[in-house]
A and B are shown apart, each in its own frame.
Chain A
Amino acid sequence: MYAYDEIDRTLVNERVSEFRDQVKRRLSGELTEDEFKILRLQNGVYLQLHAYMFRVAIPYGTLATDQLRALAHVARKYDRGYGHFTTRQNIQFNWIKLAELPDALEDLAKVGIHAMQTSGNNMRNVTSDQWAGVAPGEIEDPRIWSELIRQHTTLHPEFSFLPRKFKIAITASDHDRAAIKIHDIGLKLIKNEKGETGFEVLVGGGLGRTPFIGKTIKHFVHGRDILSYIEAILRVYNQYGRRDNIYKARIKILVHELGIEKFSREVEEEWQHIRNASLQIDDEVIEDIRSRFTYPAYEKLPHMPDELRQAAADADFEAWRKNSVAPHKVQGYSIVTISLKPIGKPPGDATAEQMDALADLADKYSFGEIRVGHEQNLALPHVAKRDLPALWKALDKLGLATPNVNLITDIIACPGLDYCSLANARSIPIAQELTRRFANHELANLIGRLHINISGCINACGHHHVGHIGILGVEKNGEEVYQITIGGRADEGAALGNLIGPGVKFDEVADVIEDVVEAYLALRERPEELFIDTVKRLGVEPFKERVYATR
């Protein structure tokens, strides 16, 4: 856990008081809605279909239990008793009243939580691997660097009014759980031949209307130079990124239009001016940040405790353990993923009661720490294996033990037309119907790893381009029509999916997805061949033939 010091706390409080002034000026009419819009967006407040929506940052997906309880408190006191975890390590509240927002922010500030830059054309919440610091084989904890960058990007005096939003993600594992290749800047922590920490820097990834996979701009930037290198990228983007057309304003378009070689030359030239100056980070600074991360005092525990051996007789426990429990870097411990995808419910939602109860469980079983992943699930990062049976029982009571992590019902979906003013089509009901179709865990297990991503419009908040199966809702002649792609992925092998055929109506989506899955089961070479691998081997055609033959 990172503990805010007095300096961080002061800044958060100063931001709350600034926002209070902005809300006051809006309510008194001193600010027009047009002026206020930009200011509220800088602080995570959108105007949605029914109400204001409030997006709170969970930097690099790490939460302490008092912070989770504060989120539960906001859900209960200012909203309708639940929150929605997003694909970028944020939580959204959908029914906030503008006049109460400053109070909600003040309540969150007490536990070091804020909503700075969770929307607007600025540098957004820095995201990272939800298994950071506990994943076996990780090079080092990427949250130290995430925190450094979080601070540097917070209220940046030069880059708070960019052409468009700007997202940074960091990973330090070979398996990329942070989706760095679909970010404006993706950072992969690596070591050079001298054993020094640095980053492979990717730039220009992003989804939306014109999706791009990020390209490597520099193979190694030393850790001491990472802030100046990011600054150089941002300075080039701030000056030359397009501002004439909102759909062409992301850095991916600038990189595409200039070409990565020319873009990287521009960045290099800017970087040479600033790299040996005040942004250079010395080891002491990194040490200081590291010193404010606390790590659990792990016990020496057996690899296979008796409790686990005994619980193995319970088939339901075993189903959950095999699905939701992952290896930890320390023997005797596990990482437990908590599915927020119960059958028939909106993906990513958690009630205030669930949040409170989960905070208690994290105190009891996970050294007071909770993580949030971009798949809209939570995790307890340090669970002793001997505690797994007891934890499972408690989670099951809360409806938080659905054993579907990474399976077909672990769907990523945006809020869609049920909430969002940008959406053209519903997302949540599609997800709900699909979870019902594949509710049988044996069937889901038989299908194996399969990610479905649903977006209710071209802005792609549900990351449909990179779903193994992607579903995009659009509007055609006043009707919701869904385009279906296959073969996308968001990990280290990131790729964009390909359309399998003409769009289908709302009522037909689940049938078509069932047909796609049936085609896969018939086409796969052996049970271990994952959906995504079958699509890679065979391409779209055989799927298209089977799915559309009878339509």
Chain B
Amino acid sequence: MPLVNGGKIADDRFVKLAVDTPLPESGDILVPAERFIAEADALLKRAGRVGVIWPNNRDIDELVPYLGKIAAVALVFPTFRDGRAYSQARLLRERYNYRGELRATGQILRDQFVFMLRAGFDSFEVKKQADAEAFMQTAKRYSVFYQPTGDGRITALHRRMQLRHSEGVGT
């Protein structure tokens, strides 16, 4: 499953651990939420970065105390029709100012890229190679956005206000 990171297909530096996989000495790890919460101190002390895989039915508030210490949060789309993780992503970025890697995992198709970028994801475990290869092109598919989100893209309403004001200056 190709990973898209920073807009390009990239190697995944993180190794995913199951609940009971022995902890490797070093290297970057992605840990399931329950294990992370249970072993947070030990995990954060070791060499290598730590990320957490957070299910979409677990309150994101629980993760907030650790946000400054972790390198990645992987949110889950069990199927692409289950959109709970979009809300979790926006809360992490916009309410809790999380700045680390925010990864979308699960059933990820190119048709979600724009929504996901807007919600704050910057890393994607894409299901199909062709979709991963089409990432840059797909991400640019839209130039107009109606909703303000934390991604900073200018909204249609604001563009109109700018147009109004610039026209106002001219007349």
Interface residues of A (CB under 8 A from B): 5, 7-8, 10-11, 14, 17-18, 22, 30, 35, 38-39, 121, 151-152, 154-162, 235, 238-239, 243, 273, 278-279, 284-285, 288
> Given the complex of chains A and B, what is the CA–CA distance between A14 and B138 in angstroms?
11
- Which A residues are in CB contact (< 8 Å) with B147? 152, 156-158
Given A157-B149, A159-B83, A161-B80, A22 and B141 contact (CB-CB distance below 8 Å): no
Q: In the complex, are the beta carbons of B87 and A151 less than 8 A apart?
A: no
User: Which single member of A5, A11, A18 contacts B160 (CB below 8 Å)?
Assistant: A5
Q: Chain B: interface secondary structure?
A: helix
Q: In the complex, are the beta carbons of A158 and B83 less than 8 A apart?
A: yes
- Which A residues are in CB contact (< 8 Å) with B128? 30
Q: Any chain A CB within 8 A of the CB of B21?
A: no
Instruction: Give the number of A-B contacts (CB < 8 Å).
Output: 93
Of the A-B pairs whose beta carbons lie under 8 Å apart in the complex, a sample of 20, sorted by A's number, is A8-B144, A10-B144, A11-B142, A17-B141, A18-B142, A121-B81, A151-B146, A152-B147, A155-B142, A157-B118, A158-B115, A159-B86, A160-B115, A239-B84, A239-B87, A243-B82, A273-B95, A284-B164, A285-B157, A285-B160
B142 and chain A: residue at smallest CB distance: A14
Q: Any chain A CB within 8 A of the CB of B47?
A: no
> Given the complex of chains A and B, what is the CA–CA distance between A278 and B118 in angstroms?
15
Q: In the complex, are the beta carbons of A14 and B146 less than 8 A apart?
A: no
> Given the complex of chains A and B, what is the CA–CA distance between A243 and B88 in angstroms?
16
Q: In the complex, are the beta carbons of A285 and B144 less than 8 A apart?
A: no
Number of interface residues of B (CB under 8 A): 34
As a 0/1 sequence over residues 106 to 144 of chain B, the CB contacts with chain A under 8 angstroms (1 = contact) are 000101001110110000000010100000000001111
As a 0/1 sequence over residues 55 to 95 of chain B, the CB contacts with chain A under 8 angstroms (1 = contact) are 00000000000000000000000001111101110100001
User: Which single member of A39, A159, A161 contacts B82 (CB below 8 Å)?
Assistant: A161
As a 0/1 sequence over residues 145 to 160 of chain B, the CB contacts with chain A under 8 angstroms (1 = contact) are 1111100000011011
Q: Chain A: interface secondary structure?
A: helix
> Given the complex of chains A and B, what is the CA–CA distance between A159 and B148 in angstroms?
13
- Which A residues are in CB contact (< 8 Å) with B118? 157
- Which A residues are in CB contact (< 8 Å) with B148? 278-279
With A14-B142, A285-B160 known, 10 other A-B pairs at CB within 8 A are A11-B142, A14-B141, A14-B143, A14-B144, A30-B128, A151-B157, A154-B146, A157-B149, A239-B87, A285-B161
> Given the complex of chains A and B, what is the CA–CA distance between A272 and B161 in angstroms?
26
> Given the complex of chains A and B, what is the CA–CA distance between A339 and B142 in angstroms?
40
Q: In the complex, are the beta carbons of B83 and A162 less than 8 A apart?
A: yes
